[in-house]
Amino acid sequence: MNTLANTRLHWLPVLLLVPILVFATACDSGGSNGDNGSNGNDDGPTQADFDNRVTLIESNNEFTDPNLQGIDRGQNGNLNPTPSPNPLSPRARADFENTSETVRDNYTGMGVDLSDINDASYVGAFDPSAGSRWTKDWTKLSSHGYTSGSGSNSTTTTANTQRVVTDDISGSETWASDETIILDGLIFVEAGGSLEIKPGTVIKGRNDSDNNPSISTDEGASALIVKQGGEITASGTASEPIIFTAEQDNLSDQSDLGPTDRGFWGGLIVLGEAPISEGTQVQIEGIPASEDAEFGGASPDESSGTLEYISIRHGGFSISGVSGDEINGLTLGGIGSGTTVNHIEVFANGDDGIEWFGGKPHADHLVAAFCGDDSFDWDTGYRGTGQYWFAIQGSDDGNRAGELDGFDSTTDENAEEFSDPVISNATFIGTGNSSGISSNGTTLRIRNGGAGEWYNSIFTDFPSTAVKVDLDDGANKRLEEGDIVLNNNVFFNYGDGNTLADIMEDTES
How far is CA 286 from each of CA 211, 217, 325, 327, rounded to the nearest angstrom? 21, 17, 5, 5
- Average pLDDT score over residue span 460-487: 79
Q: What is the pLDDT of residue 58?
A: 56
Distance of alpha carbon 414 from alpha carbon 39, whole angstroms:
10
CA distance 1 to 4: 9
The half-sphere exposure of 108 on its side-chain side, counting CA atoms within 13 A, is 21
Decide: 306 and 232 in contact? Cβ < 8 Å.
yes
Q: pLDDT tens digit string along 411-427?
A: 556 667 889 999 999 99
Per residue in 72-109, pLDDT (tens digit) is: 999 999 999 999 876 555 555 555 556 777 787 777 77
Reference 320, options 186, 414, 484; nearest CA is: 186
pLDDT value at residue 412: 55
pLDDT tens sequence across 205-247: 998 765 456 787 777 789 999 999 999 999 999 999 999 999 9
**Residue 175: band (very low, low, confident or very high) from pLDDT cuts 50, 70, 90:** very high
pLDDT of the residue at 56: 42
On whether the CB atoms of residues 438 and 401 are closer than 8 A, the answer is no
User: Between the CA of residue 42 and those of 11, 15, 39, 361, 475, what are the distances in Å?
Assistant: 14, 19, 9, 32, 10
Domain chopping of the chain, boundaries: 12-503
- The Cβ of residue 235 has, within 10 Å, a number of other Cβ atoms equal to 19
pTM of the predicted structure, to 2 decimals:
0.89
Question: What is the phi/psi pair of residue 50, to 5°?
Answer: -60, -50
The β-bridge partners of 70 are 80
Query: Please, which residues have CB within 8 angstroms of residue 12's CB and are 6 or more apart in sequence?
Result: none
Q: CA-to-CA distance for 1 and 46, rounded, in angstroms?
A: 11
**CA–CA separation, 263 vs 318, rounded Å?**
8
Contact status, residue 460 vs residue 68, Cβ threshold 8 Å: yes
| 355-395 pLDDT, tens digit each | 999 999 999 999 999 999 999 999 999 999 999 999 999 98
| Residue 58 CB burial class (10 angstroms; 0-12, 13-18, ≥19) | exposed
Please check whether residue 172 is in contact with residue 194, taking contact to mean a CB–CB distance below 8 angstroms. Answer: yes
More confident residue, 350 or 508: 350
Calculate ∠ Cα 286-429-93, nearest 5°.
125
pLDDT of residue 79: 96
What radius of gyration do the chain's Cα atoms show? 22
